[in-house]
């Protein structure tokens, strides 16, 4: 196996992530996408890049400062990775602003949507803006002086700051100050008195700079430079000796505000004494300084897209389809009893069944207990509300809420407090592990007074907002053996119970999941023959784990045909010594998030769904779950969706042996886009189900005895 751990089989994780974000950027350059959708991908690219710096680049800088010379799987040391990142980003950032400033914004202007500078406006419009500034913006602003009595302020990560050099009228001494552009105020201000059939917007920072003199009365303004810093947000949590994890996390989040800057963004062409002063203050290495065209922080275009009321410039909506099994009436529990296994594939189908099940459980007097894991939930979560109501109704409600879910820590802390106030038992996870599995267990007393368990297991979070944006699969089940094993898993997560020696139906990280995946891959290699080759299809977000990659390569060398559908990071480099490994990535209107695994097993096919990617953190440092799909009708649908994705020529990119990916720009008229075809598949399934219900109704009408 050691031969397959050679660096020639691997791509750097950080560079692979940049290739993923390059594919996101491709969507911004794709003229087959509507204009506002292209702008949305500019925002996604920018937001992704912020997180990349806060976590991945920050982590590399920490390794560099500690003089750690360890190499990644591709053989690169931290310094070499940082250098390669800077080189790759140069082209990506140039391409981003070319799409934004030379293609998308001019095209929007032709459609009557314009982002303007105050200097371009009529006197009437400038009067409106001045009044808006004085009434809505000026009261919120606070200038921060920098001098011996005013130390250099702690500037917020991600905020746009305005550096000002000035002097008082009675002195020629040059002083410095900062004004932060408030993140709570609208970034894009729509103008009144715009020309007919036009929407005109002004950036908040441009408005503030236009009227900066109001903040420094009796001062002479010399220079103004907007800029932005991104801070190191990568911190490790040593939970040993922490008495109260909730309070500890609150303090750690406050400490984040003062962490080291990891990137400085300045407007392209920034020169002069003020720019030099800024550089002296931050003392950042050259690889952390980026001179970019305006505007800064294009991630804020999410707000702009929401304000522009032009549905003709957006994708045609695909309303979530009902889950057929739940449309015929009856309680959720009765349907699950009858069907035994029901699939819900968001966002093609709605998230409503999960909420409905929880609401029914909260009100059902025969429901005794509800146990659920929560990793990321929305700000106004119907899941939380249902759990609160269940606790208030006297149910035994236990919620395992992961406080360490990155960038959702504050949100989860707030929900933890509210759930506890409602009477729910809230567990903050297990020391040393993140709880990332997606599991809901409901314990109900039936009419015969026997206890019955119901479970919902999923590949994605219990989040009603992301369920409209991420592709995920959930399963409602009442299989006694699976329910019992999930119940045992909850006992492991909430108490001191030891994990089962043998998980018969599910596999759980970090106890058995890695071994299960390797066993399945190796079995496929072992039984593969020339006349009856093995087959693996694995769909996930990221593939990083060296051991899994080594076993995949060994299987491929044994003749197993392997298709990998990896949306994001893929450290496996295909085409090295075998053509049996194919890697594709699909980037489209929805974020591909489901984890699906298929093994041919000599015709005795096996299908699995999981919360885990093939990454060391998922397999070794998180609580994750994998569960089988055994109902034939559900397996058929999953296989169809996988085949649709493998045939996608419109939105899929193929990974090349170099680690780069193919492009799809010239395939605008191709109708094989897998997300569209998957939506069509679920539409057909729902239409057939509705047709059957109508036929049954007619049969019932015709079979009634005629009244005399």
| Catalytic site positions | 436
Phi, psi for residue 496 in degrees, rounded to 5: -105, 15
Give CA angle at 389 (384, 390), nearest 5°: 95
Enter the DSSP assignment of 293. P
- State the number of CA atoms in the 13 A half-sphere of 323 facing the CB: 25
DSSP code per residue over 384-452: HHHHHHHHHTT-EEEEEE-TTSTT-HHHHHHHHHHHHHTT-EEE--BTTBEE--EEEEEEEE-TTS-EE
Contact 314, 34 (CB under 8 A): yes
Alpha-carbon span 566 to 549, nearest angstrom: 13
DSSP code per residue over 332-387: HHHHHHHHSEEEEEETTB-SHHHHHHHHHHHH-TTEEEEEEEESS--TT-HHHHHH
Contact 34, 242 (CB under 8 A): no
Burial string for 320-355 (b: 16+ CB within 10 Å, else e) reads: bbbbbbbeeeeebbebbeebebbbbbbbbbbbbbbb
Alpha-carbon span 256 to 407, nearest angstrom: 11
Strands 561-566 and 535-540: parallel
Q: How far is CA 569 from CA 12, 333, 545, in A?
A: 9, 39, 11
Contact 369, 396 (CB under 8 A): yes
SS3 235: coil
Strands 113-116 and 199-203: parallel
CA–centroid distance for 585 within its chain: 16
Contact 178, 161 (CB under 8 A): yes
Alpha-carbon span 366 to 348, nearest angstrom: 32
Alpha-carbon span 363 to 386, nearest angstrom: 9
Alpha-carbon span 462 to 438, nearest angstrom: 7
Q: How far is CA 68 from CA 53, 61, 546, in A?
A: 19, 10, 20
Give CA angle at 697 (693, 698), nearest 5°: 120
Q: Per the structure block, which two tokens stand in for 310?
A: 């032009």
Q: Per the structure block, which two tokens stand in for 399?
A: 């919620």
Q: Which residues contact 302 (CB under 8 A, 6 or more apart)?
A: 40, 43, 47
SS3 629: strand
SS3 538: strand
- State the number of CA atoms in the 13 A half-sphere of 64 facing the CB: 17
Contact 64, 288 (CB under 8 A): no
């Amino acid at each position: 196996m050691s031969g397959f751990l050679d660096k020639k089989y691997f791509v750097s994780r950080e560079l692979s992530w940049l290739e993923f974000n390059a594919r996101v950027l491709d969507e911004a350059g794709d003229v087959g996408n509507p204009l506002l959708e292209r702008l949305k991908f500019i925002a996604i690219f920018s937001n992704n890049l912020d997180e990349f710096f806060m976590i991945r680049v920050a982590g590399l800088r920490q390794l560099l400062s500690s003089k750690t010379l360890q190499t990644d799987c591709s053989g690169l040391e931290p310094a070499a990775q940082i250098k390669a990142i800077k080189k790759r980003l140069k082209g990506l950032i140039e391409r981003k602003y070319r799409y934004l400033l030379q293609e998308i914004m001019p095209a929007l202007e032709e459609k009557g949507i314009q982002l303007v500078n105050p200097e371009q406006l009529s006197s009437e419009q400038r009067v409106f803006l001045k009044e808006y500034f004085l009434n809505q913006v000026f009261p919120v602003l606070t200038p921060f002086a920098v001098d011996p009595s005013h130390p250099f302020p702690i500037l917020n990560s991600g905020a746009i700051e305005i550096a000002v050099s000035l002097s008082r009228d009675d002195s020629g001494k040059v002083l410095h100050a900062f004004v932060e552009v408030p993140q709570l105020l609208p970034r894009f201000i729509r103008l009144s008195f715009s020309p007919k059939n036009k929407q005109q917007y002004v950036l908040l920072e441009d408005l503030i700079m236009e009227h900066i003199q109001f903040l420094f009365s009796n001062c002479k303004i010399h220079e103004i430079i907007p800029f932005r810093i991104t801070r190191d947000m990568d911190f490790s949590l040593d939970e040993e000796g922490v008495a109260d994890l909730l309070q500890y996390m609150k303090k750690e989040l406050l400490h984040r505000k003062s962490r080291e800057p990891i990137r400085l963004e300045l407007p392209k062409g920034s020169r002069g004494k003020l720019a030099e002063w800024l550089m002296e203050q931050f003392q950042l290495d050259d690889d952390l300084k980026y001179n970019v065209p305006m505007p800064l922080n294009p991630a804020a275009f999410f707000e702009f897209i929401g304000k522009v009321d032009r549905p003709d410039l957006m994708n045609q909506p695909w309303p979530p389809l009902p889950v057929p099994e739940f449309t015929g009436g009856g309680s959720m529990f009765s349907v699950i009893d009858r069907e035994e296994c029901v699939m819900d594939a968001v966002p093609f189908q709605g998230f409503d069944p999960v909420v409905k099940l929880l609401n029914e459980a909260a009100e059902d007097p025969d429901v005794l207990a509800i146990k659920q894991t929560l990793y990321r939930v929305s700000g106004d979560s119907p899941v939380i509300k249902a759990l609160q109501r269940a606790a208030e109704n006297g149910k035994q409600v236990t919620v395992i809420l992961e406080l360490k879910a990155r960038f959702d820590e504050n949100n989860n802390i707030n929900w933890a407090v509210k759930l506890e106030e409602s009477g729910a038992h809230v567990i903050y996870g297990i020391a040393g592990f993140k709880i990332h599995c997606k599991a809901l267990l409901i314990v109900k007393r039936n009419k015969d007074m026997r206890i019955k368990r119901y479970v919902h297991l999923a590949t994605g979070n219990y989040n009603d907002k992301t369920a409209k944006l991420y592709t995920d699969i959930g399963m409602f089940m009442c299989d006694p053996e699976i329910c019992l094993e999930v119940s045992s898993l909850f006992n492991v997560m909430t108490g001191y119970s030891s994990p089962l020696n043998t998980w018969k139906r599910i596999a759980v990280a970090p106890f058995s999941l890695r071994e299960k995946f390797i066993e399945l891959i190796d079995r496929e290699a072992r039984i593969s023959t020339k006349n009856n080759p093995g087959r693996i299809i694995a769909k996930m977000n990221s593939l990083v784990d060296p051991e899994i990659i080594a076993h995949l390569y060994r299987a491929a060398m044994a003749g197993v045909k392997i298709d990998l559908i990896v949306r994001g990071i893929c450290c496996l480099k295909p085409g090295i010594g075998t053509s049996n490994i194919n890697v594709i990535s699909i980037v489209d209107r929805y974020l591909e998030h489901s984890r699906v695994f298929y093994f041919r097993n000599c015709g005795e096919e096996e299908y699995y769904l999981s919360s885990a990617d093939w990454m060391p953190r998922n397999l070794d440092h998180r609580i994750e779950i994998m569960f089988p799909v055994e109902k034939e009708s559900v397996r058929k649908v999953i296989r169809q969706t996988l085949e649709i994705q493998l045939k996608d020529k419109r939105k899929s990119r193929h990974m090349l042996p170099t680690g780069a990916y193919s492009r799809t720009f010239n395939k605008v008229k191709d109708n094989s886009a897998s997300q569209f075809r998957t939506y069509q598949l679920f539409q057909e399934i729902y239409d057939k189900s509705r047709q059957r219900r109508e036929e049954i109704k007619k049969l019932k009408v015709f079979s009634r005895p005629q009244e005399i």
